[in-house]
Amino acid sequence: MSLPRTPSFCLDGRRALVTGAGRGIGLAAAAALAEAGAEPVLAARSGAEVEAAAEAIRAAGGRAEAAALDVTDDGAVARFFEDRPAFHILVNNAGTNRPMKMTEVGPDDYAAVMDLNVRAAFFVAQRAVRRMLDDGVQGSLIHIGSQMGHVAAANRSLYCASKWALEGMSRAFALDLAPHNIRSNTIAPTFIETSLTRPMFADAAFRASVEAKIKLGRIGRPEDLMGAVVYLAGDASALVTGTSLLVDGGWTAD
């Protein structure tokens, strides 16, 4: 009897772009892809930060490149993709949050969150896809969303708006790109403790309220998302597109 074989999780020979890759979730995604054999380009506005991150990946035996890139700068994004061969994997991770009541949100807050979380994600993906199509590359778009793209929370109206938009955008991408075997999915994490979110958790009451809603009883770590990134990047998820992989410890289960 011939047994079916598990599709490979190896990403040897594949090029990846990870935005917002200097720290936190972006750095974890880049490290995971490199460990699986891919060659990630780590992009962020802080060139020194991503260069240090890329050097750490190289020191660990992986391959990585750093690029200083402001993904909200359309001209810079266009030039970035003009100078490079197509990527097989995009991790659309750059994002921001400004928690506040909806009555307090101003035009500048709206622009800052929506321009980065939605507009930049859209046009980075568009540029990546155009190069994929030009070079005949089949690949995977992975957008880092949030459980707040599936549920709502107080003081998160602006963030929820951006992450719900990202979910719809990704699903529509999947329909447009399926004929070219380019897949589009989101990863939707719960609260992840990083250098940016750690100050919030210094508030013991807030931390307790979050942990009470995460059924597994703890706040997430960047490492909790690394397997999901590798899965969606490669052949193991070859028939997965237009969906969202919730990594939320059960927050949205009830």
Structure tokens at 119: 């507009």
Distance of alpha carbon 165 from alpha carbon 181, whole angstroms: 23
Q: Look at residue 83 and tell me whether its pLDDT is greater than 90.
A: no
What are 156's strand-pairing partners? 100
* DSSP secondary structure code for residue 116 in this structure: I
Neighbours of 239 (CB within 10 A): 7
At residue 165, the pLDDT reads 98
Distance of alpha carbon 130 from alpha carbon 116, whole angstroms: 20
In what side-by-side order are the strands of the sheet with 15-19?
65-68, 39-44, 15-19, 89-92, 139-144, 182-189, 244-247
Q: Look at residue 12 and tell me whether its pLDDT is greater than 90.
A: yes
Q: Determine the average pLDDT of the residues in 73-89.
A: 96
At residue 4, the pLDDT reads 96
The per-residue pLDDT of the chain, averaged, comes to 97
User: What's the gap between Cα 225 and its chain centre?
Assistant: 10
Q: Look at residue 97 and tell me whether its pLDDT is greater than 90.
A: yes
Q: Look at residue 46 and tell me whether its pLDDT is greater than 90.
A: no
Single out the residue of 157, 186, 153 nearest to residue 171, CA to CA.
Answer: 186
Q: Look at residue 192 and tell me whether its pLDDT is greater than 90.
A: yes
The continuous run of DSSP H or E covering 160 comes out as: helix 157-177
Q: Determine the average pLDDT of the residues in 218-242.
A: 98
Active-site choice (159, 173, 231, 251):
159
Tell me the pLDDT band of 47, cut-offs 50, 70 and 90: confident
Q: Is 110 a catalytic residue?
A: no
Residue located via tokens 């992986």: 62
* Structural domain spans, the chain: 15-246
What are 213's strand-pairing partners? none
Residues with Cβ within 8 Å of residue 208, at least 6 apart in sequence: none
Distance of alpha carbon 10 from alpha carbon 61, whole angstroms: 15
Single out the residue of 54, 62, 9 nearest to residue 34, CA to CA.
Answer: 62
At residue 180, the pLDDT reads 98
Q: CATH fold of 15-246, please?
A: Rossmann fold (3.40.50)
Q: Determine the average pLDDT of the residues in 185-200.
A: 92
Tell me the pLDDT band of 254, cut-offs 50, 70 and 90: confident
Single out the residue of 253, 247, 246 nearest to residue 218, CA to CA.
Answer: 247
Prediction pTM value: 0.97
Amino acid identity of 25? I
